Amino acid sequence: MCEVLYVFILQRMLIPIFRKFFGFATLLCCTVAMADSVDSLSLFLKSTRSMRADFVQTVISPAKENRPAKTKISSGTFAFVRPTVFRFDYAKPFVQNIVADGQYVWLYDADLNQVTQRNQLQALATTPASLIASANDVTSLQKEFVLLAQPDAEGLQWVSATPHASDSSLQRVRIGLRVKGDAVQLAQLDILDVFGTRSLIKFERTDINPKQLTLAQFKFVPPKGADVIQP
């Protein structure tokens, strides 16, 4: 998965006479809102033991010398059961499957008839997948990421996650949460990797803790005749 993210900047107060007063009021209000976003993430991690959703992923590669920026859009379904299994099943524009079964991460490319198999613990330590599917609570997540509350935007609450590890492939991830009463849903992931590639994943038609989602659905067997690579 390509990984990326952006930071929102608060507007400055424009009335010099009341700058101190309104600056304090704005800071106070934003602090309350930001605290709520981290609390919402905590509630999401505690209450959502499993999830299934459709997704649309937009990947924007930065412009390079003599080459403009590129945008690629893909879609499919996503599911997880905490704390060890998840799967992304891409349907468009190409069929691909990314399956974490608790021991290995499998990447299957149907066009190439090729499977890549990696150790799950090593492959996913500081990736967006650990943000969504592996962490049981904010405390465990903070062992891998610095979490900072962000201002609300697009009708969502936002939390920024920056890896502690200096050698991570990520710069930062923004987690967008939709809050309705006591219910918290994962709505967006906005991911920025170290190469400047941004990946925005929007989740739709989300089903929280579906009873029909079982561990058996996260087993992967390489198709007959497929090349299996173990880097």
More confident: 11 or 227:
227
Q: How would DSSP label each residue in the chain?
A: ---B-----PPPP--GGGHHHHHHHHHHHHHHHHHHHHHHHHHHHHH-SEEEEEEEEEEEEPPBTTB--EEEEEEEEEEEETTTEEEEEEEESS-EEEEEESSEEEEEETTTTEEEEEEHHHHHTTSHHIIIII-SSHHHHTTTEEEEEEEEETTEEEEEEEES-TT-SEEEEEEEEEEETTEEEEEEEEEEETTS-EEEEEEEEEEES-TT--GGGG---PPTT-EEE--
Confidence of residue 125 (pLDDT cuts 50, 70, 90): low
State the residue for tokens 């009708």: 155
The overall average pLDDT reported for the chain is 81
pLDDT digits (tens, 9 = 90+) for 66-102: 888 899 999 999 999 988 899 999 999 999 999 999 9
Q: Which pLDDT does position 33 carry in this prediction?
A: 42
pLDDT digits (tens, 9 = 90+) for 191-227: 999 999 999 999 999 999 999 999 999 999 999 999 9
More confident: 6 or 74:
74
Q: Which pLDDT does position 126 carry in this prediction?
A: 56
